[in-house]
Amino acid sequence: MNSFAYRLLWTGLCIVIILGIIFDICRLPAERSRIHAIPFTGLGFAGVDIPLTSSELSIYRKAEVIKRYYRFGSDEFVLIAIDGAGNRHAVHDPMYCFRGAGWQIRNKTLVPIQGGEALLLQLEKDNMIRETAYWFSNGRQRHTSVMRYWLQATLRRITLGRSDKEPVLIMLQSVEDHALNLSEVLDQFGVLFDI
C-alpha cells in the first residue's frame, strides 16, 4: 500500500470513531417501552402475565417483552408484545418462528385494522389448530412487513431516536382450539392502537 492509501484508511477509521462518540453522546435517554402501557384489566377483560420460557428468555435478552393471557367474556387469547430497541435481533419475521417450531401455515389473510393492516394466520401442528394475528406498529402506522420494520428501526437509530417511535411487534394468539375473533377483540381492546 502506498502512503495515500494509509492516510485514507486512517482518516476513515478516525471518522468512524468520531461518529461513534457523537452517536453515544447525542443519544436520547432510554425510556420505558410503551408496551408496558397495555393494561391487565379493564371493562370486560382481565389478563395475567405468562412467564417466558427459557428459550424465549434467551431470544428476547435485553428486549422488552410482555406475554399475557387475556379473557374477554368467552374470548381468550395470548398477547405478545416485543420492543426490540435493546436487542434488534429479538424482533424478526413471526412466520419464520412458527415454521421453526413445527407449525404449518394453512391460511394467511391480510385484515384491515386501524392505521394499517394485520396478518391473520391459521396454523396447524399435531392435529392442533391455532390462529395468530400480528402486526408491527410505530404508534401511528400498522403493517406486516419485516423489511419495513427494519427500515423504521434503522432510521430511528440513525436519527438517534428522533425520527419516530420505536416500532414494536404485536401478536395475538388463540388459546387451544378457540378461534381468534380478531375484529371483536380489537373492538373491545382498542388500547392496542395506542401502542
Amino acid making up residue 169: L
Residue 26: is its pLDDT beyond 70? Answer: no
Buried b (16+ CB within 10 A) or exposed e, 58-67: ebbeebbbbb
pLDDT digits (tens, 9 = 90+) for 107-137: 999 999 998 999 999 999 888 888 999 999 9
pLDDT for res 24: 62
Prediction pTM value: 0.80
pLDDT above 70 as % of the chain:
94
List pLDDT tens digits, range 50-102: 998 888 888 888 888 999 999 887 788 999 999 988 877 788 888 888 888 88
